[in-house]
Amino acid sequence: MMAAVFAGRAGASVMIIEKNNRLGVKLSITGKGRCNLTNDTDLGGLLAKTNANPRFLYSAFNALTSADLTRFFEDNGVPLKTERGKRVFPKSGRAEDIVNALEKSIHKKGARIKKNETVCAVEAEAGQTRGVRTETGFIPASAVIVATGGLSYPATGSTGDGFRFARALGHSVTPLYPSLVPLITAEPWVPALAGLSLKNVCCTVIAEGVKKPLFSEIGELLFTHNGISGPLVLSASRFITDKLPQKRVQVQIDLKPGLNAGQLDERVRRDFEENNNKYFLNALDGLLPRRLIKTIVTLSGIPPERRVNAIQREERLKLGALLKCLTVTPVAAAGYAEAVITMGGVDVREVDPSSMMSKKVKGLYFAGEVLDVDAMTGGFNLQIAFSTGYLAGLSAGKGVGG
């Protein structure tokens, strides 16, 4: 949609070919239906949160900054607000307002929209784009922008079509993985904690054969019926899914990141003194969420009905170590149906970063998640989509109508 707006503004005759019965199906469900469309940060901030090929996005982020994007939507009648973590949302809390603003902008320049139309192939001849083949016929075009998304949320229509089109035209596609996705874990005690949310815990990702942690941040974690999720885990998953199942990976959860080992032991000793005659099982209410206590007691190896005053120093230190490093072992990702984004995509070495045009086929452009670019949560992935869409649309439009 962003590409269509700016291709039209550049003077091109534009057609959107949409396989769904309406535009922006995936966009309308982002941010739990609220649409975290960008992050209120500068170029350096955008690049710092980009995981794959940030240098490739330098031109796109420069062409359409976070401030530019914010201004675009506010100029098109969508008031915005900035929330915790500099995440930008429509004030209404409705992703549909973003979709509607884009659709109105598309219509202003007279672009045509073909809905319920599936593209079967992008066709080219002698290194030049000819158009697209759909289920109902051939549509000629001197420029084609592939903005199909990846494989995540396939129910919205993202079924990897763009990767197929790219490969058929001689492009390389890097390995694909679900990312920003819940994780399935091996530990048998996890399902009993399903629904328990832990705030302000630290997750550190350790991979077999890798000396440094792959990821370490403080945030919110959620236990599920078969693993872990929540904002912190989704971010951590970006550094895990491509390792499984070949490498053994551990997620180490620090339940008390604000305390070092010595401070935590002092805290535990103080709690034990206050609950001197209680059973161990009943002495942790001040330290842990109630639903987590039984699991921690079991994993500590300390008998639940032992009196606190009988717990040995070594046992207390072992409990502290457990609280600082509660370990779970991811064995798989939950899959594309639950993945916010797809990691991997069209190899950016084969795409001109200043225009988003293919280096292999003239008039062929790529934008958004179909490219091998991805970022952390917080509005950064949608900024990538809008910036690359803007640059592709402007470049294609100038090439055709300028």
pLDDT by residue (tens digit) across 153-181? 999 999 999 999 999 999 999 999 999 99
Q: Span 192-200, mean pLDDT? A: 97
Interatomic CA distance for residues 154 and 387, integer angstroms: 23
Q: What are the start and end residues of each CATH 3.50.50.60 domain in the chain? A: 2-178+340-401
The topology under which CATH files domain 2-178+340-401 is: FAD/NAD(P)-binding domain (3.50.50)
For 174, counting Cβ atoms within 10 Å of its Cβ (0-12 exposed, 13-18 middle, 19+ buried), the class is middle
- Distance CA(9)–CA(148), nearest Å, equals 21
Burial class (CB in 10 A: 0-12, 13-18, 19+), 154: middle
pLDDT at 402 over 50: no
Q: What is the mean pLDDT of residues 355-363?
A: 97
Q: How many CB atoms lie within 10 A of CB 1?
A: 23
pLDDT of residue 109: 81
- Whether the pLDDT of residue 112 is over 60: the answer is yes
Which parts of 28-65 fold into alpha helices (H)?
43-48, 58-63
Per-residue pLDDT for 32 more than 90?
no
Task: Answer whether the bond into residue 257 is a cis peptide, omega within 30°.
Answer: no
Question: Are 5 and 103 in contact, with CB atoms under 8 Å apart?
Answer: no
pLDDT tens digits, one per residue of 117-143:
999 999 999 999 999 999 999 999 999
So what's the pLDDT on residue 400? 62
Q: What average pLDDT does the segment 181-186 reach?
A: 97
Under DSSP, the state recorded for 85 is G
pLDDT tier at 242, thresholds 50, 70, 90: very high
Report DSSP state, residue 277.
T
Taking the C-alpha atoms of residue 96 and residue 83, their distance in angstroms, rounded to an integer, is 19
